[in-house]
Amino acid sequence: MAEVLPHGILEICVVMGASHEKLKEICQAIPKDGIRSHSYLSPEIRSVHVPPFVSKEDSRFGNSDQSFTRISRRRSFKKKKELKYTNPAATNANVDHIETQSEEFSIPSNIDLQGLPQLCFPGELQIETEAKEDRYHFLVFTDVFGTRTYGVAVQFYRLIEEGNSFQHGQTNWNVHNQRMSTLYAPFSVCVISKFPYYTALKDCLSSLMVHAKTCQELDFDHNVRQFAAKLALVPSPPSGTLHLVFNLNPLLIVLPSREDPNYPMADLDIHLPLLCFKPKCILQILTCILMEQRIVFLSADWALLTLVAECFILYLHPLQWQHTYVPILSKEMMDFLMAPTAFLMGCHIDYFKEVKSEIEGLILVNIDEGTITFSNLAATEPDIPEMPSQAAECFAQRIESLQLHYDLELSHLGSSTDISNLRMRRRNWQQNLNLTIQELFLVLVVNMFRDVSDYLNYEYRVFNSEEFLKTRTVSDQPFYKKVLETYIFHSFLKARLSRKMDAFSHMELRICPESNRVKMRDNPRRPTMEQMVMRREYHFDHLVTKRFAASMPNLPVDIWQDFSAEHLSIRKNKSEHAMKKSTKSVRTLKLPEFRSPLNYSSVIAWYTDFINLLSKAINTTGQECSSLLARYYYLRGLAYLMQEKYLEALSDFQNLYKTDLDIFPKELVKKVIGVLPPDQQSQAGRKPELKRLISIMLEKEQNVTASDEHVKKFELPKTHMHQEDFLKRIQESGIVKDVGTILRLFDALTIVNSEKNKLKYRDMTTEQITTTKVVSRSVFYLSAETGHLKQIDPETFRDFYNFWKESEAEAHEVNLPLEVIEYLDKNESVFKLSSAVKTNYGVGKIAMTQKRLFLLKEGRPGYVEISKFRDIMEVQNVSVMFFPLRIPALKIKTALKEPFVGNLKTERDLWQLIVKEMWAGRTMADKHKDPQYIQEALTNVLLMDAVVGCTQSRAIYAASKLAYFDQMRNLVVPKTTLETLKHKINPSADQTSPQAVNALLYAPGNPNYPEEGANANPKLWCALSEGKVVLMDAASWCIQQHCIQVGNSKLNCMLGVDSSQLWIGSQDSCIYIINTCSMSCNKQLTEHCIDVTDMVLEDQGSNLSQKCVYSCSLDGSVICWDVSTLQIKTNFQLSNCYRLTAIKLHNCMLWCCVGDALLEVKKTGQVFRTLMLENPNGSRIFFSCFLVLPGKNQLVTGCADKGEVCFWDMENLSKPWQKIQLQDCSSINCMIFVKNQVWIGSKGLDKANGKIYVIDADKYYVEKELVAHVDMVRALCAAENKYVLSGAGREDGKVAIWKVE
């Protein structure tokens, strides 16, 4: 049982100093030799205190009066230490009789007791003739798995009284000597914890020192044991805004929690390095850490070594130091600096000259002088490049505004006479400063690596480092070349590829401009006009080389050039405001006073007091403070465990599981379940909630599979590729993700490949050709055109890939004059330039952006617009006579000006394909109000260009395989659809293939609070396949959150409970609750046993306590949830129900769709009325969905297997009084009521046809038939009664926005 008990903040407490025998020897030798010959001593361990200090067995065997026993409780290696002490009954006469006893105790596996005395006395241990001031320093221990443990040590001096020393509270020797001098012996107490509570543990030791210096020697060890036992009782608070406070007379000790779970806990003054170093020096040190150098901190103050090193570790969060970390080296450990691998260590400044002159390749950081030097015997300094310039400049500007001196904060305040008030004021100032500094350095890290995600392939876990490096400025490339090869960056990549929502991700969202978030990740990267202007200014100021590469950020083209945010948004977008970090109110919980003496009964009584205190806090805390309640449940569960009340603990953890998953101790709960006695297991089985929790924990333990965390670099293929291999390679390369586009590219490149095969087969006999085909047929398939193997060889792929990358590089080198840039939109980019050609508009190069064609005139720079793509009327291949030659030319007709004719010669056919595809893409985008068509057309033409560039013969024919939109140009969009459709968006933009949109929810936002920035904008929540939730900003229709993962199953329904909670019902029987502020799912409701199909909110007021949610599952179970407590208020089971798909609330009654009937049910579960409908042959009609029209007292039902809509009078449910047959409709999937209209989403008779029908609810006829999806319409939602949004199945995967009239 002991293995499952949670840890307090104390791991071990150790007392060290000179040995008993050595002190005795010194006292006896002083009259002869004086103190000098014995002044330097070797420290030894004098006593060790390891929890638990009391056990139940002590009480059973009558040892309740004994304060402590030391009991092994960890599965770690054992160490035995011979502890020598005299019998308490011994007299001075028999003092030489020493009784040796062996005591066994458990030592934490990452603590080396043999080396601990050296770390607690890193300098010299010396007997003094006068007492010195107490000195504190800090330790960090790291085991082979990288787990860190933290220690705080105090060195203090005690008077060696005449003839006495102390060991375990016993008098050990007695030497009478009238001539003995006054001597002070150094001792050390070290407290070690799993948590980095540097300030709190230092305060604890300060309190101990008050008593240790005044107590008698016989009481010293007892006081230390009492001190350690008290710390062993204190739990560590979970992350959040609840701090723990306990009294350790004379000080109140504060245990801070991580207020923001995205930041590590910082119980130290993290502004110390800012006082020691200039900003430039700090950036140099961070660069050395990022490049994994051999770094040594030096100082005359042992405490600063660890504190400064820890600060630099915190500065780089979430990047983590992966190598050896020993912030304090004693004299005996100096040989550690000879290690050849990367490390971060610290030593005393006295060793500076020796280290610098004798060890090569070290980075020496002098904390006392604020300087960096190098120890290099080769007389050449290591190559440490500078940090990226823009990130460094931003950091330097922000750091100047920090107020780092506390005294300046006190200048206007009066003197305080309350020390507790002074300490609290200083602590609050430091906590606020810590958060500000952590945010400042996080911005620095984000600015360095913010566009790494643009070069990641999430599906194949590939990072394209070469392309990332190419887009860095020349001056920044040396930095990135080194950092990209480090373990630190590799670990950072793993988190990014796993889409971890950590501090980096949240900050990236906060500081990334909205115009940058609008981008689609598939878009080919080209510099925009705005970036060109910035580049010019930057080059002028810094005189860098002419080759352009954006450093921060390097953003793909904005696809919304003709669809501005103001045009697209449902609500007018507010101006961007800098998001300020919200200040959360911090609560404190004072722990009960410790009882004395601390024996088993008093410890149990202390935990009882603690439980009563938490129970009172839970009962008096409002349910709207769910975060605070979760912390109380967590702490009370731990307290119950310490009392071995496992069922009570599991009940609290069950409440925590539903309230806040972020702090749910999953591993601890699994251990508790594993050690439950049989009788308690049976009791838990009789409690539904505990039974469900146990089954979830056991099920998750069985389903745990090792996640793939490796990171790959893209490599060119070395063997022939068939279609599947080619698809994977292209997606890995990051060129394009869309499967359909890749398959068309495969067809194009196989034509290129077949030309090579013709030459190969020309020299082969008929028998060889036949044999080759027969052997290969099982793996490859043959081209219908040539009969050759339809595969792509490595050479063809390499040629295509290289041409694509060369074209990207050439586009970055395009440097348009300002006279030209001013004619273009700031988000336009040049994607292709022709050779210099003669045209009827003049001589120059034809340039193509995503919006238009223009002529870049030669000689004196000039701009002549040829045409916008939407204005083109005709594109023709013509010939221009130039006697005696006919020169191939391209003619473009527009309605606004005379036709353009350019003598493109050999480039003509390619430009014809390119212009027609872009023209068709623009036409399709305008017809379907879908700007993604522009991006797809742009990708197609760039692929055409690369295909033509990597081959000689039949190049145009091969490229024509990619002309997708040109072939769809004549696709007719019905006039009604065209007039009603506002635009379309793609929530699957970051996926390799479209995802079904299973549910939609529109959230209005807070327009009256523009200071909230992007959070004030309306939002659209999209539930996609496999548990993915995408959040879109409805003011700009950019993806704000790419993927919030809630399980791995289909999501059936969503419900906005209030502005901070989104409930999602899943096919895996769970209800997931997303915190809309943190964008994380930290709560789950698990009481349903099968698919959660629908939810409805009963809102009786503005407070959460006045709201409840009814949820239903496929098996007929209905549960009513208290929103504030997440507890079940009522629940019932519909009898003989196997398909409960939807519920509605009307007039305090629940309407339930159970497949072949609609049931009106009382809240108690009693069926009040039944609605059924039969076919002419007598069989029942199945309903798929229904609506309640409150103002009309009507029901509207939709059929699951045919396109029939029925209107029912709720007073007479015997038969529908109005039926409407929908044309070309095979089934109805969803419906909503907006502005006296019933909007119906359906599946057409053609399975690839999603239709929407709009029915007038007064006249009962179909007003409109809308066609905008190529797959069935799965979801509908309304936006402010002005728009309706529809989501389609996976063949389409898009959301259409419709105007409501």
- Tens digit of each residue's pLDDT (9 = 90 or more) over 848-890: 999 999 999 987 778 999 999 999 999 999 998 876 788 999 9
Compute the distance between CA of residue 407 and CA of residue 567 in angstroms, rounded to an integer. 53
Which helix (DSSP H) or strand (DSSP E) does residue 209 occupy? helix 198-212
Nearest by Cα to 1152 from 1163, 1141, 1166, 1136: 1141
Q: How many other β-carbons are positioned within 10 Å of the β-carbon of residue 723? A: 17
pLDDT at 68 over 90: no
If you search the block for the tokens 């008093």, which residue do you land on? Answer: 602
- Write the DSSP symbol of residue 573: P
> Rounded distance, CA 276 to CA 272, Å?
6
- Give the distance, in angstroms, between the CA of residue 760 and the centroid of all CA atoms in the same chain: 52
The tokens describing 530, both together, are: 């705005």
- Check whether 1239 has a pLDDT greater than 60: yes
Average pLDDT over residues 489-515: 82
Can you read off the two tokens belonging to residue 1170?
């039944």
User: Which residue's entry shows tokens 């150098």?
Assistant: 293
Helix H or strand E segment including 848: strand 842-849
**Which residues are bridge partners to 616 per DSSP?**
none
Mean pLDDT calculated for residue range 179-203: 87
Of 929, 914, 820, residue with least CA distance to 869: 914
Query: 1280 vs 1066, which has greater pLDDT?
Result: 1066
User: In terms of C-beta density within 10 A (0-12 exposed, 13-18 middle, 19 or more buried), how is residue 133 classed?
Assistant: exposed
| pLDDT of amino acid 660 | 85
Instruction: Please state, in angstroms and rounded to a whole number, the distance separating the CA atoms of residues 828 and 807.
Output: 17
Q: What is the pLDDT of residue 872?
A: 93
pLDDT of residue 1039: 82
Q: Say what percent of the chain tops pLDDT 70.
A: 82
Task: Give the contacts of 885 (CB within 8 A, at least 6 positions apart).
Answer: none
C-alpha 1020: how far from its chain's center?
21
- Is the predicted pLDDT of residue 328 greater than 70, yes or no? yes
Burial class, 35, CB count within 10 angstroms (exposed 0-12 / middle 13-18 / buried 19+):
middle
CA distance 758 to 1299: 56
Please return the burial class of 54, using the count of CB atoms within 10 Å of its CB with bins 0-12, 13-18 and 19+: buried
* Cβ contact 325:140 at 8 Å: yes
Q: How far apart are CA 1275 and CA 1001, in angstroms?
A: 9
Least confident span in 331-335, 613-617, 970-974, 1158-1162: 970-974
- Mean pLDDT is lowest, of 78-92, 846-860, 1231-1245, for 78-92
Residue 866, both tokens: 């040829």
Of 472, 451, 455, 440, the C-alpha closest to 516 is 451
Return the pLDDT at 523: 53
The more confidently predicted of residues 165 and 1186 is 1186
For the chain, the farthest-separated pair of C-alpha atoms sits apart, in whole angstroms, at 132
Among left, alpha and beta (phi > 0; psi -120 to 50; other), residue 1037 is: left
The alpha-helical segments, DSSP class H, found in 842-985 are 908-928, 932-949, 955-960, 964-967, 975-980
Backbone φ/ψ region at 1236: left (φ over 0), alpha (ψ -120 to 50), beta: left
Cβ atoms of residues 288 and 384 within 8 Å: yes
Q: Give percent of the chain above pLDDT 90.
A: 45
Of 1038-1042, 1087-1091, 1165-1169, the poorest mean pLDDT is in: 1038-1042
Query: Is residue 576 pLDDT above 70, yes or no?
Result: no
Q: What is the pLDDT of residues 451-495, one digit of tens each?
A: 898 888 888 888 888 888 888 888 999 999 999 999 999 999 998
> Phi then psi for 349, rounded to 5 degrees?
-65, -20
pLDDT tens track for 998-1026: 999 999 876 554 444 446 788 999 999 88
How much is the average pLDDT of 184-211?
Answer: 93
The predicted model gives 342-365 an average pLDDT of 93
The answer to whether residue 627 scores a pLDDT higher than 90 is no
Which runs of E-coded beta strand occur in 966-1050? 981-985, 999-1003, 1019-1023, 1028-1033, 1038-1045
Cβ density class 754-773: b for 16+ within 10 Å, e for less? bbebeeebeeeeeeeeeebe
Q: Is the peptide bond before 592 cis (omega within 30 degrees of 0)?
A: no
- Residue 1282 identity (one-letter amino acid): K
Q: Please provide the DSSP assignment of 149-206 as one string.
A: EEEEEEEEEEEE-TT--EETTEE------TTPPPEEEEEEEEEEESS--HHHHHHHHH
Side-chain-side CA neighbours of 148 within 13 Å: the count stands at 17
Sheet architecture: strand order including 324-326: 324-326, 343-348, 294-299, 362-366, 371-375
Interval 1190-1223: pLDDT, tens: 888 899 999 988 899 999 998 888 889 899 999 9
Place of tokens 């050999």: 906
Distances (CA, A) of 887 to 840, 875, 883, 902, 910: 14, 17, 10, 10, 15
The residue among 376 and 688 whose pLDDT is bigger is: 688
Structure tokens at 963: 């002309």
When mean pLDDT is compared across 510-514, 884-888, 931-935, the lowest value belongs to 510-514
Q: In the 8-state DSSP scheme, what is residue 1125?
A: T
Cα 335 to chain centroid distance, Å, stands at 40
Please give the C-alpha separations between residue 448 and each of 123, 444, 486, in angstroms, as whole numbers: 40, 6, 15
Q: What is the DSSP letter of 871?
A: G
Per-residue pLDDT at 188 exceeds 80: yes
Query: Which two tokens mark 1055?
Result: 């419900």
Closest CA to 1254 of 1269, 1237, 1268, 1242: 1237
**pLDDT above 50 for 1121:** yes
Residue carrying structure tokens 């659809």? 977
Question: Sign of torsion, CA 1150 1156 1157 1163?
Answer: negative
Tell me which of 64-73, 638-647, 1110-1119 is least confident: 64-73
What is the C-alpha to C-alpha distance for residues 86 and 190, in angstroms, rounded to an integer? 25
pLDDT value at residue 377: 67
pLDDT band at residue 907, thresholds of 50, 70 and 90?
A: very high
Can you give the length of the chain in residues?
Answer: 1301
Q: What's this model's pTM, rounded to 2 decimal places?
A: 0.81
Structure tokens of 562?
């003709």
Confidence class for position 530, pLDDT limits 50, 70, 90: confident
Mean pLDDT of the chain: 82
Structure tokens at 516: 């940058």
| Band (756; pLDDT cuts 50, 70, 90) | low
Number of neighbours of residue 1148 by Cβ within 10 angstroms: 8
Strand partners, 953: none
What was the pLDDT predicted at 701? 57
| Tokens, residue 547 | 């080759």
* Tokens 């009307």 -> residue: 1146
The dihedral built from the CA positions of residue 891, 893, 896 and 897, taken in this order, carries a sign that is positive
- Mean pLDDT on 505-517: 69
Closest CA to 154 of 14, 300, 348: 14
What tens digit of pLDDT does each residue of 940-991 get? Answer: 999 999 999 988 778 899 999 999 988 877 777 888 998 999 989 999 887 7
What is the model's pLDDT at position 515? 45
Query: Bridge-partner residues for 1094, per DSSP?
Result: 1112
> Does residue 906 carry a pLDDT above 60?
yes
Residue 330: what residue type? S
In angstroms, the Cα distances linking 377 to 123, 353, 360, 671, 1243 are 27, 13, 5, 55, 78
- pLDDT above 60 for 171: no
Q: Identify whether the C-beta of residue 477 lies closer than 8 Å to the C-beta of residue 1000.
A: no
| Phi-psi region at 381: left, alpha or beta (left = phi > 0; alpha = psi -120 to 50) | beta
Q: What is the pLDDT of residue 1247?
A: 58
Secondary structure of 774-818 in HEC code, one letter for each residue: HHHCCCCCECCCCCCECCECHHHHHHHHHHHHHHHHHHHHCCCCH
C-alpha to C-alpha distance for 299 and 366, rounded to whole angstroms? 6
What is the signed CA dihedral for 1219, 1224, 1228, 1230, rounded to 10 degrees?
-100
How far, in Å, CA of 258 to CA of 262, rounded? 8
